[in-house]
Amino acid sequence: MKINFHFILFRILIITFIFGTYSLGLCAENERITVEVDGRPKQYDVIETKRYEIVEVEDPAVTPDALQSVAAQAVKDAEKDAGAHLNRTLWFSTGCFFPLIGPIFSQRYQPFMPTARVLGKSPQYVAFYYDAYKVKTKKLQFSWALSGCLVGAPIGAYLFSLLYRGTRD
C-alpha cells in the first residue's frame, strides 16, 4: 500500500491549523479585574499564557455625556459626507442593468471611508463616524439600486418580449 506524501502533509497542515494555537499556548483568555489603588478604582486585564501577566487598562478620559455629544457629532458628519460622496448614477445604473443583482450587491459592497475627514479626531469619534458612514452609505446605495431596478426590470422585460416575438415570426 503506497501512501501519498502530499496527502499526509496536507493532513498535518490542517491539524496544525486547527489545533496549533491551543497546543502552543497562544490562545489567551482575558479576565478584567478592578482593584482600588490610592482610593481610585483601576482596571486590569489578566492575560493567561504560559505565565501570568497583568496589564493596566487606562481609564477612559471621556465621560458618558461627552461621549454622547461626540457620537452625535460624528453621526451627523458621517451622514452628511455619505450623501455628498455617493455616486447616485453608478448605483441607479447598477440596479437598472442588473435588476436582481444590483440591490443585493449594493448591500454587500463595502464603501471606502474618507480617512482625511477623521484625521486628528478622537478614537471614539472615528469609531462612531465609520459605523454611521457605513450604515448611511449602504442605505443610500440600496435605495438608488432599488429605484434603478424598478425602472430597469420592466424595460428589460419589454425588450425581452420584443426579442421573443421577433424570433417567433
Whether the predicted model's global pTM rises above the 0.75 cut: no
DSSP 87: -
Q: Which of 39, 57, 75 is the last residue of a domain?
A: 57
Q: Which of 41, 57, 73 is the last residue of a domain?
A: 57
Sign of CA dihedral 126, 127, 128, 130: positive
Indicate if 48 and 89 belong to the same structural domain.
no
What are the C-alpha distances in Å from 143 to residues 11, 51, 69?
Answer: 47, 54, 29
Indicate if 121 and 47 belong to the same structural domain.
no
The amino acid at residue 114 is P
Residue 44 C-alpha from the chain's centroid: 29
Cell of 54: 497583568
Indicate if 43 and 86 belong to the same structural domain.
no
Indicate if 35 and 75 belong to the same structural domain.
no
Indicate if 47 and 99 belong to the same structural domain.
no
Contacts 24+ apart (CB under 8 A), 68-71: 70/122, 70/124, 70/125, 70/128, 71/124, 71/128
Indicate if 45 and 72 belong to the same structural domain.
no
Indicate if 46 and 68 belong to the same structural domain.
no
In the β-sheet with 30-37, what is the strand arrangement from edge to edge?
Answer: 30-37, 40-48, 52-57
Indicate if 134 and 161 belong to the same structural domain.
yes
Q: Which of 57, 84, 100 is the last residue of a domain?
A: 57
Q: For the chain, which ranges sit under pLDDT 50?
A: 21-28
pLDDT digits (tens, 9 = 90+) for 134-159: 999 999 999 999 999 999 989 988 98
Indicate if 127 and 85 belong to the same structural domain.
yes
Domain that holds residue 17: 5-57
pLDDT digits (tens, 9 = 90+) for 113-129: 788 888 888 888 888 99
Q: Please state the domain count of the chain.
A: 2
Indicate if 164 and 81 belong to the same structural domain.
yes
pLDDT confidence of residue 43: 72
